Each structure stands twice: as structure tokens, then as C-alpha cells.
Amino acid sequence: MNWLYLVGIVIFLLGLMFSIAMHEIGHLVPAKIFGVRVTQYMVGFGSTAWSRRKGETEYGIKWIPLGGYIRMIGMLPPRPGDDPTKLRSTATGPFQGLIESARDAAQEEVQPGDEDRVFYRKKWWQKVIIMSGGPAMNFVLAFVFFSILLVGIGLPTWAPIVSPDTNTCVIPMAEQRTACKASDKPTPAAQAGLKAGDRMVSFDGQQIASWDDATRLIRSHGAGPVALGIVRDGKPITLNVSLIAQDRPNLQDPEKIDKNVGFLGVLPTQIMQTQSVGQVVGYMGDLTARVAGSLVNLPEKMVGIWHAAFSGEARDPEGPVGVVGAGRIGGEIFSSDMSNENKLAFFINLLAGFNLAIGMFNLIPLLPLDGGHIAGGLWEGLKRAYAKLLRRPEPGYVDIAKVLPLTYAIALVMMIMAGLLVYADLVNPLTLTG
């Protein structure tokens, strides 16, 4: 392990901590705007590495950079009829005991004069905004990172520019070699005088805008002469080439073979192609749909993680990856031989994808995730609207404490999943090559 690998891991962790800090700011700002007393704003878990109090809030960093939180007073309402200033006996049932203990903890920091500053007493739409602020901040960060990547740097794209790696001879597909033999025939491109760096711009009078265009036109033409327009050193040139027919792998399924398709004999060049802001929206939309599908299939994906961890099966490139695995990918990126521009693009893409995934995961309507609190606020708003429509007395606050047993069970499952991901990322990590 070289020092560049470690630097890559550290840079990724710093980016992750920045994303976590911004997520919590997404909760903190609306909470303060709506008058909720926030006693702590922390990035990380475990013991405190540094903290400073400003006003009524302690701001700090903890040693384990795997999350963060803000502490708002009065997250859970007291039991109906209870005087929050009086002690009461503890329930004996196991689940009821957990609920009442949580209620007590939620009331511990409530001081005289805080009655209207507790979270549970806020309007339902204020609760929704406060709890939606974190995921919303992740989505904003993802959009910013993707915009920097697509608009500022660009995406790796195969361009219709002749690569220096292009062979000058026709090598039979069945032969696994790259070097030419004296008996090999020259390619149509070599015969026509195509050189590395030539950009193909037209084929038989049809414009070529991408490598996909060039491939489609060449293959569909078959064998025979054709006029190929190129740009060489800034000057347009037309070359007369005579394509030959070859068996080539199918573009969608390389295991299938397309018979007697047109063959020119050039390889493309990879370039960084910038996109428009509108394309950023489309790119995020497509990726959001894929992440949503992964979340729906998360139990099945975790079965694959189990097999990868304990049976040595290959990791699914579209499967989940934990912080440890993402950090290792960050190390691979930084220590690789790719250009600095490509390294930066990979890093930004990694952070953007993580922010998008964290934002969507937190919207799952289950406690202890933000989505569980959002669902509680929406349910409270629905109940109040229904009561107002029927002119009934306004219902009380939605008591999310009643689902705490389920919350603890889900939290346990999440910890097991996180532990499994960490183990799989250590023994069978997902790498840049798959």
C-alpha cells in the first residue's frame, strides 16, 4: 500500500465528512428558523474530538466519521395526561418500557420556558421541512457535484478519432493477439492512409457526431467503396476507402457474433466531453431511478453481498458498497496511472453518487431514518385536515414513540447490514475494474 493510496482514502473521508456536515446543516437551519432548541450539532460518532459552544448549541466533531446528528429537544411527546414536570413509575412490559424510557430521555433537556420550543409541538409542515432538510441537502450536493463533473470536466466518451493503438492489419477474431504478422492483410483504414488523430466527420455523405454513429454506419454499409470525410490538423479531407466484410462481436451482447458486417479497422479515442445543465438533470434522473431500483432490491442485493463475503463470489458492480469500500476505491483512484483530470472526475462522481444514495436512503419511511419522521409529520397533517373537514376537534400530535420497538428492530438490521458491508469490503472489495 503506497502513500498515494492512503491519501486517496483520506480525501474521500474528508469529502464524506463534508457531505455529512451539510446533511446535518440541512436539519439545523430550519430547526432554528422554526424555533426548536438544538443542543448539539455533531459530525461523526463516538467520543468527541473537538467541540465549541455557541449560544445554546454545542458544535463538534467526533472521532468516527460514519455519520452525524443534531439533538433537538422534545422529539417525542409525553404520554397523554402526564405532567412533564413530575416523575412517574416505569412500565413493566418490555416494549412499553422501551417507549417510556425514550419519552423520559426526550424530556430530560426540556427546561422551563421551552414548552413551545420542543420538536413535537411544531406544526406538521414544519416537522416535515426540518426532517426533509438533510436529504434535500444531499440532493443539492449531488446536483452540484454532478454539474461540476458533467459541465466543468465532462464524461469519458469514445470519440470518432483514430487512436494511436489502432492496428494496421486485419487480425482474425479467433486469434487472441494484438501484434501484426507479415502474412496479415492491411486494414481498409491503413490502405486509405488514415492516421492517428484523424477525426471522422462524415461517412458516405452522412454526418458522424459520435463513435456510435461511426460504428453503426460502417457496420451497416458492409463491404465496398465509400467516401470517408475526416479532419486532419484542422483541415477537412475526403478519403476513398474500401470496406471489407468481417465477423464482429455484437455491440449490445459481445458474446454474440454479427456476420459479415462492414469493417474499417480503427479504434476510437477516449476524450472528456462536457454536457449541458439540462443533461445534468437527465443524468441525475436516470441515476435516481437506478438507485431507487437498488433500494427496492436491497434485501436481494445483501444476499449477494453475503455470498461475496463468505463464498468468494464476484461483487456486483451495481450492488451496495459501504464507506470502507468507497474509501478503498478512493485510494485506488488516487494511486492509479490515470490522468489527474480523470482522477478528479472519478472522485467527484464518487461523492456525487454517495450523496444521491444517502439522500434517497434517508427518505425510506421507516424510523430511525429521516423518512420515518417525515411520514409521521405527513400523517399528522392528514389527520388534522380530515378533522377540520369533518369539523371535529383537532387531534393530538402523532406519537411516533409507539413504533419504537419496530425502530429498534430496524436499527439492529441496519447495523447488521453495515457490518456485513464492512466485512465484504475488506475481504472481497469492489474495485475500479469490477
Known catalytic residues? 24
Pairing assessment for the beta strands 199-203 and 57-72 based on DSSP bridges: unpaired
CA atoms within 13 Å, Cβ hemisphere of 305: 25
Name the one residue in this structure whose C-alpha cell is 472528456: 272
Within 54-123, where are the H helices? 94-107
Amino acid present at 273: Q
291 closest CA partner among 99, 127, 142: 142
CA distances from 209 to 119, 198, 215, 330 (A): 56, 14, 11, 33
Give the length of the chain: 434
CA distance 3 to 244: 50
CB 132 within 8 A of CB 172: no
CA distance 5 to 67: 23
- Integer Rg of the chain from CA: 29
CA distance 335 to 12: 13
Residue 386's φ and ψ, nearest 5 degrees, are -65, -45
